[in-house]
Amino acid sequence: MISEPGLELLHTSAVELEPRRLYTAQQLEDAGIGIEAGTIRADLTRGRWPEPDDTEGGVNRWYYATVTTALTTRRSYRQTQD
């Protein structure tokens, strides 16, 4: 059972991601982590997403371990049912 909020997204990703491998925002979206690349980029500019672990070639990349931490502290938005 998942006890930490936000981890349910991590366990439903379509691809097994490696903690010490670098991923772009698009690769993270494509892997099915539950957040879109555009949202990652927008949150980065607003200070709600961690700074990239690598920016070589002008491309932002994060270790999956960094993404895991970000997702566990991320506020979840849920629709209420009337």
In tens digits, the chain (82 residues) has pLDDT values of 344 444 444 444 446 789 899 999 999 999 999 999 999 999 999 999 999 999 999 999 999 999 999 998 887 666 666 6
pTM above 0.75, yes or no: no
List beta partners, residue 54. 61
Task: Give residue 63's pLDDT.
Answer: 97
Among the residues of the chain, which ranges form H helices? 7-10, 25-30, 37-45, 64-73
